[in-house]
Amino acid sequence: MALRLVIGLALLGLGCKSERAPALDAGPAERAPTAAAPNAVRPVPGDDVAHGRYLATIGACLECHTPRLATDPERLDETKLMSGGTPFGGPWGVVHTANVSAVAAAYQPAHLEAAIRGQLSFKFQMPTDLYAAYAADDMRDLVAFLRSLSPVDVPAPTNRLADGYRPPLPLAPGTVRETAPTGVSVERGEYLVHVAICKDCHSPRAADGVSYDESRRMSGGGIGLKVSNAWLVPPNLTNDPETGLGRWTDDEIITAFRTGKRKDGRRLHPVMPARVAYADMTDDDAKAIVAYLRALPPIRAKRPPNGPYENPGDIACCFEPPAPEATP
């Protein structure tokens, strides 16, 4: 992670072209103040910025990299789009999301892509392993959108790294499909569960705590989310009638993840980014996700019930994988 911070400092401070920094252990470091990056709207011709924004929205990029409104935790502060600063506690210490609005225009598209796919350095809470699934056409639009952002000048937060913490290695480049799957298909649903990061929260990890237990995929409990004094556990989304969504209709599922309203009327806690990320998901994409969930083997995995939340403003304390173990 020190490696990453060094890269960040070099880019923010000097506006230089990105390169992998040689230093491996700079220790905890403060980010340099944001340099006045050139304000550039320069999408590559043919790239679709509006579609890129859609992907950044349902991919929760905006959600994680934009502060929410103090007055309404289910809305983002549009004046600070992608300016970062959300803290994430974990085994690494505390690392804030990066000010992508300030750096994106300074990055070459290929560098930005590699960062999003997790190939440059470990990105802490950012689910780069899921973003590695982006098809080339979607990635082009996403990058075009990021490069169209106006740099937001905000003070750089201080990251605190745990003593002796060693980050995992960056991900190796994998096969990239040329075009994203389309239509209301199980294949597109599976793709979306990756690039809209449902899997990050809703799929349990394997024994190593990092990779997924694919034999129980989407059965909940991927990440523990600590709010106030309680842990929220992402529920089981497989078709099991007792512990999953087997007794929910398709519409009830879609309403829950697009509006944050559960079938029993209870509002989901806004760490489930229903309104900030998924509210504007197209009907076809929402249906494709449900088609995928329905096609999965139903897994019996009872996750501890989450109660009504009391402090809606308390949304971003700690994300600590792996989640507390389920009690089947």
Q: Which residues bind ligand HEC (CB under 6 A)?
A: 4, 7-8, 11, 56, 59-61, 64-65, 88, 95, 97-98, 100, 103, 112, 115-116, 123-126, 131, 142, 146, 196-198, 200-202, 225, 232, 234-235, 237, 253, 256-257, 262, 268-269, 271-273, 278, 289, 306
Please count the residues of the chain. Answer: 328
Contact assessment for residue 2 and residue 166, using Cβ atoms and an 8 Å cutoff:
no
Q: Which of 131, 211, 165, 200 is nearest to 3 (CA)?
A: 165
Q: Number of helices and strands (H, E) in the chain?
A: 11, 8
One DSSP character per residue, 135-178 reads -HHHHHHHHHHHHTPPPP--PPPBPEEPTT--PPPPPPP----S
Helix (H) or strand (E) holding 319: strand 318-320
Taking every pair of C-alpha atoms in the chain, what is the biggest distance, in angstroms?
Answer: 56
> Cα-Cα-Cα-Cα dihedral of 9, 14, 17, 21, to 10°?
-40
Q: What ranges in 167-244 are assigned the alpha helix state H?
A: 186-195, 198-202
- Preceding omega of 321 cis (within 30 degrees of 0): no
d(CA 124, CA 176): 23
